[in-house]
Amino acid sequence: MKKVGGRMNNNKKEKTGLVVCLFPEQYEIFDHRLNKPVCHQKYENGRLTGSMLIQDIDEVSIKGKMIQYFSPNNIGLLLSISLLHVKNSEKIFIDTIKNIDFQENRNKKEALNSVSSIICNYIEEIQIAIVFGYTALETFANLSIPEDYEYKKKNETKGIHELYEKGSIERWLSLKEKIQYILTDIYKTDKTDRQKWWGHFSNLEQLRNDIIHQKTVKNTEFYKDYFKEKIFEICKCPKEVIRFFYSAHEKNNQTNPIWPWIEGENNIFPINTKYDTQRFEVIGNIHDGFNKNKQ
pLDDT tens per residue across span 1-27: 333 444 444 445 678 899 999 998 999
Residues 194 and 136 in one domain: yes
pLDDT of residue 272: 79
**pLDDT reading at 253 higher than 90:** no
Same domain, 10 and 145: no
106, 156: one domain? yes
Same domain, 57 and 81: no
Range of the domain at 208: 74-251
Residue 132 and residue 43 in one domain: no
> What amino acid is encoded at 127 in this protein?
Q
H-helix segments, the chain:
74-95, 108-144, 166-172, 175-177, 184-187, 198-212, 231-251
Are both 86 and 189 inside the same structural domain? Answer: yes
Tell me which H or E stretch contains 27: none
Length of the chain: 295
Asked whether residue 56 falls in the same domain as residue 128, the answer is no
Residue 175: per-residue pLDDT: 96
Q: Please give the Cα distance from 54 to 72 (Å, whole number).
A: 14
Q: Are residues 85 and 229 in the same domain?
A: yes
109 domain-assigned: yes
Overall domain count for the chain: 2
| 151 and 45 share one domain | no
Tell me: pLDDT of 124 over 90. yes
Q: Which of 8-17, 36-45, 64-73, 231-240 has the lowest mean pLDDT?
A: 8-17
pLDDT at 246: 85
Comparing 170 with 267, the larger pLDDT belongs to 170
> What is the model's pLDDT at position 134?
98
For the segment 43-52, the average pLDDT, to the nearest whole number, is: 87
Q: What's the pTM value of the predicted model, to 2 decimals?
A: 0.85
